[in-house]
Each structure stands twice: as structure tokens, then as C-alpha cells.
Amino acid sequence: MKGKDRFGGTAVRDASASVTTTSTEVPRSVASEATLSATSSGTVTRSSVTSLIVPAGAPALAGASGRSVRDLVAAVATSWPPRQAEAVPSKWGVTPRQSVEAECGLRGAGVVVSGCVDILEGRYTDEKLLLALGGPTARYVLDGHEGPYWFRVWAARGLLYAWNETAAAAVIQATADEAWRVREMAAKVIARHRVGDGIEAAVRLREDPVARVRAAGERALIVLTEARA
């Protein structure tokens, strides 16, 4: 719902969250100067961002949260410059790598690699491994809501983190899988582990109809070529 707040701004209430926020129009002269610029050292600091957007003499207008506009801007400024993207945990609370490594700790890396090969070759009998590789989404696929090709995608991804040469032939074969996501992941595995026998497959993937697969194939070819040099 909308209404006028005591500062002449527009108060907006989010019915789902029961939170009221306040927006107050910023004078054009202030807004035009609110442009981030580097300091003499070439960096943007919290204080410079705050002073650019909220001049030192500006009145401390408080929103519904009780915090002044200056405080709110300063809080936002703490996240500047933005951080580089970090690995995001998967829906089951761990990253895919962590899940695979935990499974290796329970079963042994060789058993996990062998299980991934079985899955790549279409044998989806190890439900516990499927759940370890795919997380909660694997249950959704096991229940028939999505195609089983996802199992092969996750198995190939698992081989990024658990590997031995016994999986090489299955990975190379997976570059011809009917599902493009499997082909892409197989190319990534070839590049990661420098699977020398996969160079012909990498060359072939450069002609794949899917751009992401072509890019993965190109990357694999570069890595393998450099490894031979």
C-alpha cells in the first residue's frame, strides 16, 4: 500500500513482509553529482561514496527503519567495489566438489570414479551415489520429473573432482552423448585432467551445434595442445 510519510515521501508497505520503506525524492542538483569517481589514489572508498551521494550538510532524514539516509548510503558503500564471484554452495548445503570429496571419504575415490563411469554408460543403479552427485535435484529426476541425462551430467561433473585414468574411455565416449550438457561436461573433464586420448574428440566438438559445447571443446584442445608442446 502507498501513502504520504511525514517527510513528504512515499511510504510503501510490503504486505507479504510487513515492512514499510520510505522513498524521498532527491533534488536534481544532488543526484547529478552522485557519480562515483576515483580518489587521487585511484580507488573508491566508503567515505568518498558517502560524501558524493549525501553531502556533509545534508539533513539526517530517517526512514521507517530509524536509520538516517547517510547511514543507509554508508552501509551500501561498504560493498564497493564489488567482490569477485565466489563458489556458491549448492541447494543441499555444500558445493558439488565438497559433496564428491565427502563421498570419496566414505567409499574411496576409486569406487566413486567407477560409479561415475557406470552412470556415464547408462547404469543408474547406485541411488546413493546419484544423490551425492546431484543433491536434492537428483531425487526429482529419480522420480521421473526430468530426463535421466542429468545423471550423466552429474557423473561427468563428479569426475572433475574424483579421477583416475580408468575413466578416460568413458569420458571420451561421453563427448558424443545425445545431451549437449553431457558433451560439454565431458570436454571440461578432458581439459581438467589433460586426457591426451581425447584430443580427437576435442577437435570434433569444435563443430558441435551448441555454442557452449564448442567453447568447451576449444578450451580442451588448447589445453591438450599446450600439454604436448
pLDDT in tens, 55-90: 444 444 444 445 454 454 444 334 334 443 344 444
pTM of the model: 0.61
Q: Is the pLDDT of residue 98 over 50?
A: yes
Q: Is the pLDDT of residue 124 over 80?
A: yes
DSSP string, 118-149: HHHTT----HHHHHHHHTHHHHHHHTTSS-TH
| 217-220 own/partner pairs: CB under 8 Å, 24+ apart | 217/175, 217/187, 219/187, 219/188, 219/191, 220/187, 220/188, 220/190, 220/191
Contact (CB, 8 A) for 23 and 17: no
| Model pLDDT, residue 106 | 96
What the block records as the C-alpha cell of 133 is 552427485
Higher-confidence residue: 105 or 17?
Answer: 105
Confidence category of residue 213, pLDDT binned at 50, 70, 90: very high
| Model pLDDT, residue 93 | 85
Contact (CB, 8 A) for 191 and 220: yes
| Model pLDDT, residue 71 | 53
